[in-house]
Structure 1
C-alpha cells in the first residue's frame, strides 16, 4: 500500500498518509503541507505584529521617559541658575595651597634585578671511578681500559657542565646589563620627575609666601585663582580682570557677565503618543528677563562674597565690581562690551549681611550700586572705578622697524633698540585681537622687558616678554628666571625671545609650562611676517662686541 511520511519543523507536525493509489497519496500530502505552510505563515505574521506592538509600546515608554528626563534636566538647570548665590555659601573659597601641589609618587615601578641563576653541581671525578671485578684486577689491560672509559665519560660530563654553566653565566650577565640600563633610565626619569615636581611645588610655595607677605601682584594672582575656582555653567563667559590698590586696600574686578541670550529657556518636554512627537515648552520673555536680572545681581554678590571670604590675610577692605556684557549692538550689527552695573562695598559692612535671606537686587541697591532698574535692557553706565593699566615701569616706546633692513644684524643691535624692536613686533602681532604691548624701564635684574595685554578669551591675559640679544646658546637659567617672573607677575604666559638658539635643557624645562621660546630663526620669521627683513650673524656680533 502506498504511503508518505510528511512533517513540518516549525509547527512540529508529523503525519503518515496512506492510500490505494500513489497519485492520490501524493496529492493528499501536497495539500496537507500547503495547509501547514499557511498555518505557519499566519502564526509568523501574528508573532511579527505582536513584536511590533510590544516594540511600539516600549518605544512610547522610552520616549515618554526621555521627555521626562529632558524636563528634569531643564528644571535642574533653571534651579541651578536660581541658586547661583546660595550655592557658594556652603563652600570655603579660601585657596588650599597644598591641594595645588603635586604630591604624587613616581608611577613607573623600579626595575627588579634578575635572580641569580641556579647551577647544576659540577661532576665529581670520584663519581666516575670504575667498579672492578676479579678479572680486572688480574688483567691490568682490562682495568686500564675501564679507567680510560670512565675518565672519558667524566670529561664529557665536565665539558657539558662547563658549557651549560657558561651559557647560564652569559645569559645572567646580559640580564644584569639590561637591568643596569633599565635602572639607570628609571633613576634618570624619577630624578627628572621629582625635580620638576619640586620646581612646581616650590613655585606654589613661593606664590603662597608672596601672598602671605601681602605683595600686590600676588594678591591679584590669589584673587584670580579664587574666581577661577568658582563653579558656573559652561556657557557662562567667566572672564574677568582684577587690579589691587595696596594703599587703600581696594580690589577692582572687571567681570564679564552672561548675555541674556546665553541663558537656558527650556521649561519642559512632553511626549504626545497619539502624534508620536515631542512638544517643548519655554519660559515666557517676561520670566526670562526677570531671571536674567536676578542672575546678574546674584553673580555680583557671589563674586564679592567669594573674594572677601577668601581674604586670608585681610588685604581687602573694599571691592569695586564692574559688570560688563559682551552683546550685539543692533545699531551697528557688531559685538561690543558695555558696563551695565557697578558697585563698591566695604568688607566689614558686607560680611554683616545674611546672604541666605537677602533679595539680591535690594541688597545691590542698598549698597548704592549703579545700574538700570531693568538690567536686561543693557543700558550702559559709567563704572564707579575702573582698572588703571598704567604701570610705573612702563616707558614711552619708539619704533625701530623703519631703521631695520637686510644688512641689520639683530645680534649686534643696541640693546635698547632691540627691546623696542621686540615690543613693536609683538604689538603688531597682538593688534589683530585688540591687544596692547608696553615696554618697561631699563633694568639689569633680568625681569620684565615688555608686557602684553591680550583680550582674547582663550589665549589672552597678561603676557610677560623678555628679549635676550645673545650671541651664545641660551641656557636653562634664563628660562627658569622667566618662569619665576611669570609666577611673580601673575601672568598667563611668558615669551623669551633670543637672537641665539636655546640649549636642550632650556627646551626641556619649558615643556608643559606656559612658556614660549623663540630663537633667532623664529625672530627673523616674525620680522618677515610683518614685512621687514634683517639678519642674525652671531660671529660678526661677537667681533663687534669685542671691539667695543
Structure 2
C-alpha cells in the first residue's frame, strides 16, 4: 500500500512539476513579450525624438537661411549705394550716335519664291513595257507622252504663277524699303538738326537733350527718382537745373536680420543712426556728382561751359511746416574744374563741399535746407520741367495715345512695333518683332490702363492669345500692378509682366515721358477697365491627409504681433474689418479656404500667418499626428489652381501648428515662409504667442 501510494504521489508530483514548468515558460514568454514591447516602444520614441529633432533642426536651418538671405540683401543694397559713383562712372552716357538709325535695310528675302519650279524630265516618262503587241506598245508610248505633256504644262503654269508672285512681292518690298528708308532718313535728319541746335545753343533743345541724358542714364539704382526742372543761359553756356534726390528711406534702417530660436521670431538689427545718416549724406553727394558727370560727358557739342545743380527732396520743410521741395544740395562748377577730378577715387562729400565748394545739408535726413547757388527761374530762358510734376498722366491719357506710347517704347528698345486696329485685334494692342536671330521673334502686347490690381484672369487670357497667335512671347503692360497669383501663373511661361512703376522707369530710361497720377491713386477702375469684382484676391485652399478635424485660421500681423483681436480670422470672426481676409467655403478638393486680397491689406501689416488647430468639439482627444501630406493651394478668383505650397506636417502630442506666413518684401511682393512651430496647448496657446489674450 505504501509503494502504491508512493507511486501515485510520485506521478502527482511529476504532474505538478510539469505544470509548474509550463507556467514558468508562459510567464517567461509574457516577460519576453513585455520586454520586446518595451524595446519597440523605446525604439519608436527614439525615432520620434530623432524625427522631431531633425524637423526642428531643419526648421531652424530654414529660418536661419532666410534671415541670412535678407541680411545679404541689405548688405548688397548698402554696397550698391556706397559704390554708386564709381560704378556710375563706368556707364556710357546717352550719345547722339545711339539715336541715329542705320540706313541698312533688311535685304529682299523671297524665300521659296526664289526657287524656280522644276520642269519634268521627259526621260523619266517611258512606256511601262507590259504590252505584247505593237498596238499595245504604241498605246503605252502615247500614254507616256500625254503624261509628260500634262505635267510639263502644269509646271509651266506653276512657274508663271511663281514669277508673278515674286514680282508682286518684290514690288511690295521695294515700297516698304523705300518708305522705311525715308523714315530712317527723316529720323536721322531730325537728329542732325538737333545736333546743329545743340551746337548753336538753342535753349529748348539743350534742356530737352540733357534731360534725356539724365533720364536714360543707367547710373541710377532702381527706384531712384527722376524729376528735373531746367533752364539754359545761352550767353554763358550754362545749364541750371533742379534735380530730385532720393529720400532718407533709401538707406536701409536695418543692418541685419537675426532669427531667435528661443522665441521663434525674427529680429531686425538696427543700423546705427550715425552710420545711416553718414551714408545718406554720402549718397546725396554721389548723386550730385554723377549728374554732373552725365551732363559734362554727354556734352560733345560744346554746349556746356558750366552747370549749376540744386538737389531737392520732397517733404515738409521744417522751417515752414509746409510740404514741398527742400533743397539739400547745391553746386555750381565750371567744365575745366570738373574735368580735373577723378570721380572713381574721390570721397563724394569732400569732393562736393571741398573741391567744388558746393553746399550740402548737414542734416539732410531731417530735411534741413541749404540756399541754392542759382535757380532755373533766375536764368533768362524759359524753365522747362520734366518728371513727376509735368509729365503726362498715364492714367488720364487717351487709350489710343497710351497704346502708341507703349509701341514707341518698344521701338526705342530696338524692336519693330506697331499698334493694331481697334476692332478684330484678337486681344492684341501692339505687335512687336525682335529682330535678334537667336532670342528674338514675334511679340504680342496687351495694354491694361487700370488703377486696381490686374486680375490673374488677364494674365491667363494673354497666355491664350500668345498660343492662338503663334507668338514667341507675350507682354502685359499696365498702369497698375500685379498680385502674387499673376506672377505665379506667369512663372515658367513666355510671359513678361510690366507694372506701372516699371513702365515709368522704362519710359524714363529711353527718354520718354509719363507719370502715374498726381497723388494717391483712387481704388476705382478707369472707364477702360472691366467691371470685375474682387480684383486682386486669391484663394488659399488647405489640403491634408488624415481624418482629424481641424480649424484653419489666419492672423494679420505686423512682425510677430497681430494688429488686433479683430484681425484674427477664425470660426467666430470670419473676416477682418476691411474684408481683405475672410474664411470662405472651400472649393471641391480642399478642406478649408481663406480668401485674401494681398494688395488690400493695411500698409502696416507685413505678414499673413496661417495656422491650423484640432477642433476640440469634434476631436477632443486628437492630436496632429494624423495631419500629413499637407499643403496650401494658391488659386485665383475663379478657383483655378496656380501653385501649391508645402507646409509642415503635424506631430504627436501637439494640437496646434503654424503652417507658414506670407511676408511683404520691399517693392510690395509677398514671399511664403514655411512654418512648423507646434503647440501642445492648442489654439489658445498659439494665438497667445501673437499677442492675443485668451480668457
* Structure-1 residue corresponding to 2:98: 99
> How do 1:16-55 residues align onto structure 2 when only pairs under 5 Å count?
none
* Structure-2 residue corresponding to 1:245: 233
> How do 1:395-406 residues align onto structure 2 when only pairs under 5 Å count?
none
* Structure-1 residue corresponding to 2:183: 196
Residue 282 of structure 1 pairs with residue 267 of structure 2: no
| Residues 97, 204 of structure 1: 8 Å contact kept | yes
Change (3 A) 1:261 1:213: same
Q: CA deviation at 1:276?
A: 4.8
Structure 2 counterpart of 1:154, from 119, 134, 141 = 141
Q: Tell me, in whole angstroms, the C-alpha distance in 2 between the residues paired with 1:352 and 1:178.
A: 65
Q: CA deviation at 1:265?
A: 2.5
Q: CA deviation at 1:304?
A: 2.3
Q: CA deviation at 1:54?
A: 6.0
Q: Tell me, in whole angstroms, the C-alpha distance in 2 between the residues paired with 1:208 and 1:329.
A: 41
Tell me whether 237-246 or 310-319 shows the greater mean CA deviation: 310-319
Q: Which has the higher contact order (CA 8 A, sep 6+)?
A: 1
Q: Tell me, in whole angstroms, the C-alpha distance in 1 between the residues paired with 2:371 and 2:511.
A: 39
* Structure-1 residue corresponding to 2:284: 296
Q: CA deviation at 1:161?
A: 2.7
Residue 111 of structure 1 pairs with residue 115 of structure 2: no
| Residues 297, 364 of structure 1: 8 Å contact kept | yes
Listed one character per residue, the Cα deviations across residues 23-49 of structure 1 (whole Å, up to 9, x for unaligned) are xxxxxxxxxxxxxxxxx9x99999999
Secondary structure, counterpart of 1:388 in structure 2: helix
Change (3 A) 1:247 1:331: closer
> TM-score, normalization: structure 2?
0.43
Q: Tell me, in whole angstroms, the C-alpha distance in 1 between the residues paired with 2:123 and 2:180.
A: 48
Listed one character per residue, the Cα deviations across residues 314-362 of structure 1 (whole Å, up to 9, x for unaligned) are 4323221112211246899974223233222233334444545554444
Secondary structure, counterpart of 2:376 in structure 1: coil
Structure 1 counterpart of 2:307, from 319, 336, 340 = 319
Q: CA deviation at 1:77?
A: 0.9
Q: CA deviation at 1:232?
A: 1.1
| Residues 74, 267 of structure 1: 8 Å contact kept | yes
User: Looking at CA atoms only, which structure, 1 or 2, has the larger radius of gyration?
Assistant: 1
Listed one character per residue, the Cα deviations across residues 122-143 of structure 1 (whole Å, up to 9, x for unaligned) are 7999999x99xxxxxxxxxxxx
Change (3 A) 1:274 1:177: farther
Q: CA deviation at 1:61?
A: 3.8
* Structure-1 residue corresponding to 2:246: 258
Q: CA deviation at 1:78?
A: 0.8
| Residues 245, 251 of structure 1: 8 Å contact kept | yes
Change (3 A) 1:105 1:335: farther
Structure 1 counterpart of 2:154, from 154, 167, 171 = 167
Tell me whether 116-125 or 255-264 shows the greater mean CA deviation: 116-125
More strand as a share of residues: 2
Change (3 A) 1:202 1:61: farther
Change (3 A) 1:247 1:124: closer
| Residues 127, 144 of structure 2: 8 Å contact kept | no
Structure 1 counterpart of 2:365, from 372, 376, 379 = 376
Change (3 A) 1:350 1:334: same
Q: Tell me, in whole angstroms, the C-alpha distance in 1 between the residues paired with 2:163 and 2:265.
A: 71
| Residues 339, 380 of structure 1: 8 Å contact kept | yes
Tell me whether 51-60 or 65-74 shows the greater mean CA deviation: 51-60
Residue 207 of structure 1 pairs with residue 208 of structure 2: no
* Structure-1 residue corresponding to 2:377: 388
| Residues 110, 186 of structure 1: 8 Å contact kept | no
Change (3 A) 1:200 1:154: same
Count of equivalent residues = 356
Task: Please report the RMSD computed on the Cα atoms of aligned residues, expressed in angstroms.
Answer: 4.6
Secondary structure, counterpart of 2:377 in structure 1: coil
* Structure-1 residue corresponding to 2:391: 459
Q: Tell me, in whole angstroms, the C-alpha distance in 2 between the residues paired with 1:164 and 1:63.
A: 77
Secondary structure, counterpart of 1:343 in structure 2: strand
Q: CA deviation at 1:254?
A: 0.9
* Structure-2 residue corresponding to 1:470: none
Q: Tell me, in whole angstroms, the C-alpha distance in 2 between the residues paired with 1:63 and 1:341.
A: 42
* Structure-1 residue corresponding to 2:633: none
* Structure-2 residue corresponding to 1:227: 214
> How do 1:57-76 residues align onto structure 2 when only pairs under 5 Å count?
57=57, 60-76=60-76
Secondary structure, counterpart of 1:345 in structure 2: strand
More helix as a share of residues: 1
| Residues 60, 261 of structure 2: 8 Å contact kept | yes
Change (3 A) 1:181 1:267: farther
| Residues 123, 157 of structure 1: 8 Å contact kept | no
Listed one character per residue, the Cα deviations across residues 344-398 of structure 1 (whole Å, up to 9, x for unaligned) are 2233334444545554444444444345432222234543322239988x9xxxx
